[in-house]
Amino acid sequence: MKKNLFLWMLLAFGAVTFTACSEDDDNGGNGGNGNVQNSCYVVNQGGWGFNNASLQVYDAAAGTATSPDCNEDIFFTANGELLGDVAQDLLWVGDKLFVTVTNSQKLEILDETGKRVRQYTYAAEGASPRYMATDGQKVYVTNYDGYVYVYNAASGDSLTRIYSGSYPEGISVVDGTLVVNNSNYGGNGGGEATVALIDLASGEAKIIKENVCNPYTQSLVCGGEVYIIDSGNYSDILPTIYRVDTESATLEKIVENATYMATCGECIYYVNATFSYSNFLTNYSPLCKLDVATGEKSEILPEEAMKDVCSLNVNPQTGDIYVGFSPSADDFGTMRVYSADGEQKGLFEVGYYTSGARFRN
Amino acid sequence: MLVAAGLALCSPYFCSVKAQNNDVRLLDSLIVSGSSSRSAAESSAPLQRLTADDLARMGATTVGDALKHMSGVTVRDYGGVGGLKTVNIRGLGAQHTAVFYDGVAIGDCQSGQVDLGRYSTENLAGVELAIGQGDDIYKSARVLAAAGVVSLETHGAVGGSRSGDWQVGVRAASFDTYKGSVKYSQSFGEWWGVSTFGEYVNSEGDYPYRIVNPTTTVSGRRMNTDVEELRGEVNLSWQRAERHLLRMKVYGYGYERGLPGGVIVNNPSTTDRLDGYNLFGQLFYEYVPSPSLKMKFALKHNHTYDHLREQLAASLSVDRYRQRETDFSATFMWTPNFIEGLSFAWSEELFKNSLRTTNNHVSMPTEPERLTALSAVSARYSYRAFSLTGSLLHTATRESAPHGDVAPDRSRFSPSVALSCYPFAGVDFCLRASYKSIFRLPTFNDLYYREIGNYNLAPEKTRQYNVGAAYSARPFGCCDELTLSADAYRGEIKDKIVAVPAVFIWKMSNVDYVETLGADINAKGVFSLPSRTKLHLSAVYSYMRAENRTPGSSLYGHQIVYTPLHSGAVDAALATPVADFGYSLLWSGKRYFIARNIPSNEIEAYGEHSLWLARTWNFKGLSLFAKAEVKNIADRNYEIIRYYPMPGRNYTLTFKLSL
């Protein structure tokens, strides 16, 4: 049981920013939370086994956020019950929110107030939904049972499921192809860590194995191409951003030493936070921006500002950068909002182990 | 300096320590000797004891349940027959509590905490809790190395008749729980004695629960809670006059159980299983060559195996943990004739722990080993009403492992001192003060657990200060016994070892500083009433403020998790010629399950009320004892650990036949 707990803590905390925030995927529009350009949802995992996942709304114009407390968050307020255990991801599509709650083994489909529209539970199958992507018509949800579950984005109807590989995590969809990080449960899954390229029309899959060590939670689209982070082995294999060549089914190394990334337009924002055995501390890098079109790199924020970083997102409408921080396992975190050039514009409290901010697709 | 040098010489193995490496985790064992039947007023440090009669009265089936009736401790109970139960003394953490079974340490170097739910009270003669530095210096070094000690004493091999004594017990309880036990003891000749004990437990344990959140209720029935346990031991003793005492013990315990886990919203399913065994044998010898000199030696070997089957979403993960420990200790006590009231003790202890872990999917090549040498010198001087005790302990460790990085070797001195005073001649009233500085080494999980472990962790240091008073007497006619004690304490924990988020994974780190301030009050009395009736009363109360005092922490000043500010217990029993009746209350104030002290992190206060009725029939050399208990009569839904609900109202019937 102790070992189990450790492993779950490890995996649960692996929630990183996953948001299809590039303009390629954005379907725009205004929702029920005021000005879309100035609102976002924040999804907080909560502690493993504590049933204290929560959802917040942040109004950037007013600089205010709803409560991060699981007993006061928008889900509880709208439904009168707890969201559950380990909310891993949130996808905002049209006027609906898709929320994966991994340890509660369910997918919640909500309206923009947080009111439940539909719920899918997977406890009977022992399956745990993880991360999501959308092409505007359908929502694709990775699940630890090895499949990608497909839902109608508008109605929430369950459509089908597609086999991907061992313990799928981060996912993107581009040009009719699903790109899925098959994590193999951090090496504990009994399978193989791969990146799967699944053609949605034919159902055929290409499997990338070369250079793949630990493809984890992050898979994003930038400039029409998919970028993933392979988290390495937390030792001598470093976390690295790769570009996925869907034609040749290969990975191209883009940035080494990057644990979190976000995309906006033609740019990738990234930061590194890695535990180092040289000083037995977590070491942080500056927040940087890479223009994938020109290859130009620039520093946005110094490394001192990145201490305790745990999520990174960019609002595709405004270009504002949302950085989540979790300094303690026992306390709420914070989220800072910066302009594209690094000027702080906002600060608010978020829940335990925030997965980050989510914007409308 | 001389003392320090002497200690260093006593453990040459480690004095030059420098690293090699190593790691591991493991179980321990060790020897403690001596009787612990002294009253609370005879100790310079808080001492609480429950006898076999006390245990029977309060209906505690496991040691974890029994310790809930003591002050200064919080028992983390995950609920149910198979639920984990660990004890935390004065907020120091379960890893600072050493547990001894007939003088044998039963720690666990993998996690550093002992599951007290695994130890039955059926064969126990007593349970004792000692906190901090006492004035009994004739102890093994490993006792001195702990912040607090829980000692479990069995009936052993002493006291059986020449013809042999049998006791057969059966118990049936709610939720399909059944227990059967057999005890046998016999004396041979003038010096030999033998005893055996065996117990089998089978429980479904699938009790209903209801957890109330601010406005919602989560309810259901616990799943995957079945438990099957078998334990047994054989004891052999040889005692010749008052000079020689030899004891041998072989102990075995096997189990197979489900792991129900915590209640998860919308996800009731759980299928994880755990099985394993624990085997140990020990040899103890004490020799008293003269009134001024005595010595004792102990040797033990322990082997523990745990097998975890964890059903993941798309695969089965199988872990196997094998721990071994070999321990040897030698303790000497000298009371010189030329200075009255002066005694010295010297104890050496050497033990080796190892851990081997395998997983069906992941290579876990680190097989850590730790060799630990403890050397302790102690002195006690008593003059008139005063008694002064001091000890200096040297701990040295050497770690190694065939693969991977290992923790540095450690070498450290730990002092302690205690003063007691009996200010009133002829009155058993004691004033006491003590100080103890001790530390705990990181566990093998802390150091080497895959990706999470941090082999550079520093030991976690503690300082304990205690002042108190104890009184024991028969103050008036109908009072057969009255014991009162009150202690105030302060504790400091530096470099507390905690898991810290470190990007995708957690990392064990030294970060927190915790200060505790508290008070324990104990009262116990036995009163004779008319018609051959006796009233047994006991009450304990604890106040414990244990706060995070880490400079710069956002949680500075917050009470640490699972530590109630107020807690207590009351036990009352009325023994009449016809039958015995009893009442028990366990009470705890609110606690927090996450360190941020906000309402949504609170666990409600609870009180558990229980009643029992017992009678014994004697005829023709046979004795039949019957007892009926109703626990949690108010059917109160409560949790000790968040989302691990405790059982509601439940019933137990017990029968014991002795011949």
Q: Per-residue pLDDT tens for B584-638? A: 999 999 999 998 999 889 999 999 999 999 999 998 889 999 999 999 999 999 9
pLDDT of residue B564: 95
Distance from CA of A307 to the nearest CA of B (A): 11
CB-based contacts of B3: which residues, under 8 Å, 6+ apart?
A: B377, B392
B184 has pLDDT over 70: yes
Set of chain A residues whose Cβ sits within 8 Å of the Cβ of B312: 144, 185, 188-189
* B2 three-class SS: helix
Here the tokens at position B452 are 């999470």
Between B215 and A104, name the one with better pLDDT: A104
Distance from CA of A110 to the nearest CA of B (A): 16
Integer Cα distance of A323 and A341 in angstroms: 14
CB contact under 8 A, A50 and B264: no
Q: Does B595 touch chain A (CB under 8 A)?
A: yes
Integer Cα distance of A281 and B511 in angstroms: 11
Between B47 and B489, name the one with better pLDDT: B489
The ranges assigned to domains in chain A are 2-27+36-358
Q: Per-residue pLDDT tens for B117-170? A: 888 888 899 999 999 878 889 999 999 999 999 999 998 767 667 788 999 999
What residue in B sits closest to A12 (Cα-Cα)? B504
A-B interface: how many C-beta pairs under 8 angstroms? 188
Integer Cα distance of A57 and A113 in angstroms: 9
Nearest CB to A187; choose among B263, B361, B599: B361
**Least confidently predicted of B311-315, B346-350, B423-427:** B311-315
SS (H, E, C) B568-590: EEEEEEEECCCCEEEEEEEEECC
Per the DSSP assignment, residues forming a β-bridge with B203 are: B177, B227
Residue A114, phi-psi category: left (phi > 0), alpha (psi -120 to 50), beta (remainder): left
pLDDT of residue B17: 30
CB contact under 8 A, B259 and A4: yes
Set of chain A residues whose Cβ sits within 8 Å of the Cβ of B456: 277, 280
CB contact under 8 A, B313 and A127: yes
N- to C-terminal Cα separation, chain B: 59
Residue of B267, B547, B592 to mutate for A, most A C-beta atoms under 10 A: B267
* B228 three-class SS: strand
Could you tell me what percent of chain B has a pLDDT over 90?
Answer: 65
pLDDT of residue B567: 96
CB contact under 8 A, B553 and A4: no
What residue in A sits closest to B271 (Cα-Cα)? A126
pLDDT of residue A8: 40
Nearest CB to B505; choose among A2, A10, A82: A10
Report residue B268's pLDDT band, with 50, 70 and 90 as the boundaries.
confident
CA-closest candidate to residue A348, choices A114, A74, A67 = A67
Strands A267-271 and A273-276, how do they pair?
Answer: unpaired
What residue in B sits closest to A233 (Cα-Cα)? B451
Please identify which residue in the block is written with the tokens 């942080």. A284
CB contact under 8 A, A52 and B600: yes
pLDDT of residue B21: 33
Q: Does B212 touch chain A (CB under 8 A)?
A: no
Here the tokens at position A6 are 């450790």
List, for chain A, all residue ranges whose pLDDT scores fall below the cut of 50: 1-34
Q: Which amino acid is at B91?
A: G
pLDDT of residue B120: 84
Integer Cα distance of A57 and A37 in angstroms: 13
Set of chain A residues whose Cβ sits within 8 Å of the Cβ of B263: 51
pLDDT of residue B215: 62
User: Are B272 and B224 contacting, i.e. CB atoms less than 8 angstroms apart?
Assistant: yes
pLDDT of residue B542: 97
Between A311 and B34, name the one with better pLDDT: A311
Integer Cα distance of A71 and A51 in angstroms: 10
Nearest CB to A9; choose among B264, B499, B553: B499
The arithmetic mean of pLDDT across residues B401-405, rounded, is: 84
Q: Does B650 touch chain A (CB under 8 A)?
A: no
Integer Cα distance of B406 and B366 in angstroms: 9
User: Are A70 and A46 contacting, i.e. CB atoms less than 8 angstroms apart?
Assistant: yes
Q: Per-residue pLDDT tens for B505-531? A: 778 888 889 999 999 999 999 999 998
DSSP string covering B620-645, please?
A: TTEEEEEEEEEESTT----EEETTEE
pLDDT of residue B400: 93
Q: Does B84 touch chain A (CB under 8 A)?
A: yes
Set of chain A residues whose Cβ sits within 8 Å of the Cβ of B266: 84, 101, 104-106, 121, 123
Set of chain A residues whose Cβ sits within 8 Å of the Cβ of B362: 187-188
**Least confidently predicted of A286-295, B130-139, B249-258, B542-551:** B130-139
Report residue B31's pLDDT band, with 50, 70 and 90 as the boundaries.
very low
Distance from CA of B270 to the nearest CA of A (A): 9
CB contact under 8 A, A49 and B449: no
Measured from the Cβ of residue A28, the count of other Cβ atoms closer than 10 Å reads: 11
CA-closest candidate to residue A313, choices A281, A361, A275 = A361
Distance from CA of B505 to the nearest CA of A (A): 5
> Which strand (E) or helix (H) includes residue A20?
none
B396: number of CA atoms within 13 Å, CB side? 21
* B459 three-class SS: coil
Report residue B60's pLDDT band, with 50, 70 and 90 as the boundaries.
confident
Integer Cα distance of A94 and A57 in angstroms: 16
**What is the helix, strand, coil percentage profile of chain A, to 5?**
10, 50, 45
pLDDT of residue B314: 82
Here the tokens at position B572 are 């009352």
What residue in A sits closest to B598 (Cα-Cα)? A69
CB contact under 8 A, A14 and B362: no
Distance from CA of A138 to the nearest CA of B (A): 24
The arithmetic mean of pLDDT across residues B37-41, rounded, is: 54
Q: Per-residue pLDDT tens for A200-225? A: 999 999 999 998 999 999 999 999 99
Strands B148-154 and B97-101, how do they pair?
Answer: parallel
pLDDT of residue A4: 42
Distance from CA of A135 to the nearest CA of B (A): 27
- E-only strand ranges, B360-425: 369-383, 386-400, 410-421
CB contact under 8 A, A123 and B266: yes
Report residue B83's pLDDT band, with 50, 70 and 90 as the boundaries.
confident
B242 has pLDDT over 90: no
Set of chain B residues whose Cβ sits within 8 Å of the Cβ of A330: 555, 561, 594-596
Residue of B503, B550, B556, B594 to mutate for A, most A C-beta atoms under 10 A: B503
What is this model's ipTM? 0.85
Report residue B182's pLDDT band, with 50, 70 and 90 as the boundaries.
very high
- The whole-chain average pLDDT of chain B stands at 88
Report the Cα B634 to chain-centroid distance in Å.
Answer: 29
What residue in A sits closest to B404 (Cα-Cα)? A235
CB contact under 8 A, B504 and A16: yes
Set of chain A residues whose Cβ sits within 8 Å of the Cβ of B214: 71
Distance from CA of A128 to the nearest CA of B (A): 7
φ, ψ for residue B161, nearest 5 deg: -85, 170
User: Are A4 and B264 contacting, i.e. CB atoms less than 8 angstroms apart?
Assistant: no
Distance from CA of B594 to the nearest CA of A (A): 6
What residue in A sits closest to B260 (Cα-Cα)? A1
Q: Per-residue pLDDT tens for A310-340? A: 999 999 999 999 999 998 878 999 999 999 9
Nearest CB to B554; choose among A105, A282, A327: A327
> Which strand (E) or helix (H) includes residue B57?
helix B52-58
Homologous superfamily in CATH for domain A2-27+36-358 = YVTN repeat-like/Quinoprotein amine dehydrogenase (2.130.10.10)
Set of chain A residues whose Cβ sits within 8 Å of the Cβ of B272: 1, 4
Q: Does B505 touch chain A (CB under 8 A)?
A: yes
Please give the model's pTM, rounded to 2 decimal places: 0.88
